[in-house]
Each structure stands twice: as C-alpha cells, then as structure tokens.
Amino acid sequence: MPEHTAAADFAALLRELKDRSGLSYGVLAKRLHMSTSTLHRYCNGDAVPADYAPVERLARLCKAHPEELVELHRRWVLADAVRGRKGAAAAETPPEEAGSGTALGQEASGAAPPAEAPSAGAPPAAPADTEVGTAPTRRRTRTAVLAGIAVAAVAVGVALAVGLPGGGSDGDGDGDGGRHRPVGAAGVTAEGTAPASSSPPSSAAASPSSPAKGTGPARTPAGSAPAGAPSGEGQKSGVPVTVRAEPYAWESPCSQRYLADKPASEMKPPPLEEGAAAWVAAHGAVSSGQQYLRLTVQGTGPETVVVDGLTVRVAGKRAPLAWNDYAMAYPGVGCGGGVQTRAFAVSLDSARPSLTPEPGNEDFPFKVSESDPEVYYLTASVSAYDVDWYLELKWSSGDRSGTLTVDDEGRPFRTSGNKGRPAYEFPIGGDGWVPEGTTKLE
C-alpha cells in the first residue's frame, strides 16, 4: 500500500473521532500529555505515531466504539509498516549517493579523513604519481573510510551477539525506552527452512530477579527470520508472516498490577501505558495476577496466510512471588474499556493452559496478509503460581506451514499470583505509594 494512502487513511479516522468528540486539539493534547502541534500532525497525516498506546488513548477519549478501535489499530499497523519500509530503504542508500553528505559532515566537524582504512579489507593506497587532492584520491579515501566503518560495525555486532544471549538485553534493561517491540529472538520453524537448534533455552539468560530457571522456547536457527522481522525478511527465509508482541499492554489501568521486590519508598509513580515496559524493567517487576498481551500478526506479502492457532507453552512453574503488589490506577480515576474483538483468555493455573475465546469472539483460524493484519488480545490469569510461559503460533500458506515462537525478546513471559501480598496505590496529587484502600476520596 502506498505510504500516502496508508497514512491518509489512518489520519482520516483520527480526524473523524476527534471532530465527533467536540473537543479541541488543545484539550485533547493536554489530556494525552503531548504538544498540540504533534496531535495536529497525527490528524493531518503528516506523521505516524511510533507507538500505538497514545493513539488508543486518544480514541478512548473520543468515545470510539470497539469496532472503531479495531479498525484504527489496523490502519495504524499499515501506516507504521509502510513507514518502516521507507526507513529501511533510506538506510540502504548506496555509498555513491550518500558520499556528498559524508564529505559535508567531515568538513563541518573539521576532521580530516584518514590516510588509509584501519582494516585489512580496505582498498590499496593511491599510486605515487597520483596528485594529492584529486577526485580519484578522494573517492578512494571515502571508499576506504566506508569500508572501515562497515568492518567496525560488523565487529560490534558480533561482540553484542556473543555478549547478549539471543541478541537481546539483560533482564534489567529496556533498550527501546518502553516502546512496543517486535518479538525478540523468536524461534522459527517452517517447511523448507532449517529446524530450531538445540542451543540452551532462552530462560537460561533470565534476569537476576528470577528465583528459578525454566525451559524456554527454541532459539532462532541461523538464516531464519525472527517472528517480528520487518516486512520482506520473512519472505527470504520462507516465512510469510510476522508477529509483534506487546507484553505490557493494558486493557485498562484499573486492571493492571505489578509485583516488585522493593519497598514502596523506592518505587516510582505509576507510568502511562507506553512507559510500562521501561517502568517494569527499572523495578525488576513482574505482571501480577494477570498479563494482557497485544499481538499484531501481519503477512509479509500479498498472499493469504492462515493463522491456524496459538498454543500456550509453560516453561516453568513455582510458588507465587512474595513481593509487594502495586496497582497502576490512581484512586478515584474512572476506567473504561471493553472486550476487544479477537480476544482470548487463558488460566495459567491449569495443568494444560489453553486459549479460550472471550464471549462473543470467534476462534481460530484467521487469515492475514500484508494489507490485512489481525490483532489478538490475550488475558493470562494466575493465582497459585509464578509462571514462565510463551506462545507458539501455527501458520500455513499454500503448501507451506510452520510455527513461530512468540516470547518477550527471547525470554518467556512471566506472570505471578498475588494473593495475600501487601498491596499499594498511588493517590492523585500524592508524593508516594500508600497501602491500598487507605486513600480517602473527596
């Protein structure tokens, strides 16, 4: 889909919701904690938000119907995907086209280009009879510099791959600042592709806060595309579908809680939904009582891909965490929300947890393509255990089929029961957490 069409369709629905609400740009921007000019750009189609969370909050402020929320998310996915492809194309600009910009950057900084590349793969120096300062010499120098940069980048990439299992961050980091992220280091198996390797399970790299290690999902085999690979990468490995998981989405602030092994005096105030991942990482927190996942499934091409089902896999079960329980809702603030289409529930307390469609929702299979993504909402509940778990998405397209492992950037999702744990809330206008139920509402 052309970029202008996808962005325009997304912006058109945003404007319709905004106009119908009767609220001004200034009022909406203040409630969304963003600038009025930014909101204007979103509604005019001049920009597409990098995160879906503020879009959903805007839609709910404008009293969007459930069907409109689903359609808005679909249009945002398409606009975001087109923008991602455009960014990837810009990154692949040939050196000949980017050369002038490199030269300008060197002149502006005052740095002289090195006489030779610090790499064994750099081209030979100019012959002795070549006049210094001529165009051929500058071209060869620029090529040498670019070659050196490329080799250095590869070396850094190798170092990161060795230092970080699965290519991800450690359990206490959040490299993207809490933004939504593609499924990280997800195992991929499909007919015609290499099978999953027998390397150690991903949960072997669990965060220090994990009291025990479970058996995690399979690692991504060499040459396979991760489940969250940008459009086009899946096709190269024969996988025609991508999955993006948002493990810290909120059905509503009132329903979301987290366990943390910290006293209330050391906890930051509740975040907005888009900052939940960073907040969780900063406190080593774990979803409490239930976890709400948003999965976006999209084809990598025009062909139809059938999503045959999602299977819940338990990687480890332990006694529930003996940590403090923190509620994300501010006392006295109303909470909206409702059952989304494509909504499923699972009890992690069960011996064999399985997804069940919420009342009024259809069950698998579903069909997706590049222009027609699907969004699934999963509510995983638990009371008696601390559970490490992940999902396996089964797909088929023509005579091909396979399985994608969906997890939290190479680690299992983690959800713990919270019965009997000390519970805290953060009053509006307050300066700290207080025991839940002690706040007096005026």
In a domain, 73, yes or no: yes
Q: What is the 3-state secondary structure (H, E, C) of 305-367?
A: EEEEEEEEEEEEEECCCCCEEEECCCCCCCCCCCCCCCEEEEECCCCCCCCEECCCCCCCCEE
Domain encompassing residue 163 = 140-169
Q: Provide the pLDDT for residue 160.
A: 38
| Between 121 and 267, residue with greater pLDDT | 267
How high is the pLDDT of residue 258?
A: 97
Query: What is the DSSP annotation of 161-173?
Result: HHHSGGG---TT-
**Percent of the chain whose pLDDT exceeds 70:** 61
Q: pLDDT tens for residues 288-301? A: 999 999 999 999 99
What integer pLDDT is reported at residue 332 of this predicted model?
A: 54
Assess whether 324 and 204 both reside in one domain.
yes
In this structure, the answer to whether residues 48 and 75 fall within a common structural domain is yes
Is the domain of 48 the same as that of 161? no
At residue 89, the pLDDT reads 53
- Whole-angstrom CA distances from 307 to 115, 121, 232, 401, 407 are 56, 46, 18, 10, 17
- Both 333 and 387 in one domain: the answer is yes
User: Do 259 and 361 belong together in one domain?
Assistant: yes
Do 79 and 10 meet the contact criterion of CB atoms below 8 Å apart? yes
> Comparing 165 with 5, which gets the higher pLDDT?
5
- Please say whether the beta carbons of 406 and 422 come within 8 A: no
pLDDT at 433: 95
Query: What's the confidence (pLDDT) of residue 113?
Result: 40
Q: Which two tokens stand for residue 288?
A: 């409490």
* Over residues 374-386, mean pLDDT: 95
In a domain, 133, yes or no: no
| Assigned domain for 394 exists | yes
Same domain, residue pair 344 and 199: yes
CA distance 94 to 68: 42
Q: Does residue 162 sit in the same domain as residue 185? A: no
Tally Cβ neighbours within 10 Å of residue 329.
18
Whether the full predicted model's pTM is greater than 0.85, yes or no, is: no
Of 120 and 355, which is predicted with more confidence?
Answer: 355
Residue 293, in any domain of the structure: yes
Q: How many other C-beta atoms are found inside a 10 Å radius of the C-beta of residue 163?
A: 9
Cα distance between residue 312 and residue 376, in whole Å: 14
Q: Mean pLDDT throughout 58-65? A: 86
- Lowest-confidence region among 14-28, 89-103, 272-286: 89-103
Rounded to an integer, what distance in angstroms lies between the CA atom of residue 331 and that of residue 192?
A: 54
Average pLDDT over residues 257-261: 97
Q: Which of 12-16, 253-257, 325-329 is predicted least confidently?
A: 253-257
Average confidence score pLDDT of the chain: 72
The angle subtended at Cα 318 by Cα 254 and Cα 287, nearest 5°, is 20
Q: Say yes or no: 246 and 319 in one domain.
A: yes
Tell whether 70 is covered by a domain: yes
Q: What are 205-252's pLDDT values in tens digits?
A: 333 333 333 333 333 333 333 444 433 334 445 799 999 999 999 987
What per-residue confidence (pLDDT) applies to 131?
A: 38
pLDDT for the residue numbered 243? 95
Answer yes or no: are the C-beta atoms of 31 and 61 closer than 8 Å: yes
Average pLDDT score over residue span 113-124:
41
CA distance 138 to 413: 52
The domain total for the chain is: 3
For residue 113, being part of any structural domain is answered with no
**328: Cα separation from own chain's centroid:** 20
pLDDT in tens, 393-408: 999 999 999 999 999 9
Residue 379 and residue 270 share a domain: yes
Q: Give the C-alpha separation, 46 to 44, whole Å.
A: 6
100 domain-assigned: no
pLDDT in tens, 408-438: 999 999 999 999 999 999 988 788 999 998 8
Which structure tokens are listed for 221?
């085999």
Q: Reduced to 3 states, what is the DSSP secondary structure of residue 201?
A: coil
pLDDT score for 416:
97
In 234-302, DSSP assigns E strands to: 241-246, 257-260, 286-288, 290-299
With CA atoms as reference, report the closest residue to 207 among 317, 282, 293.
282
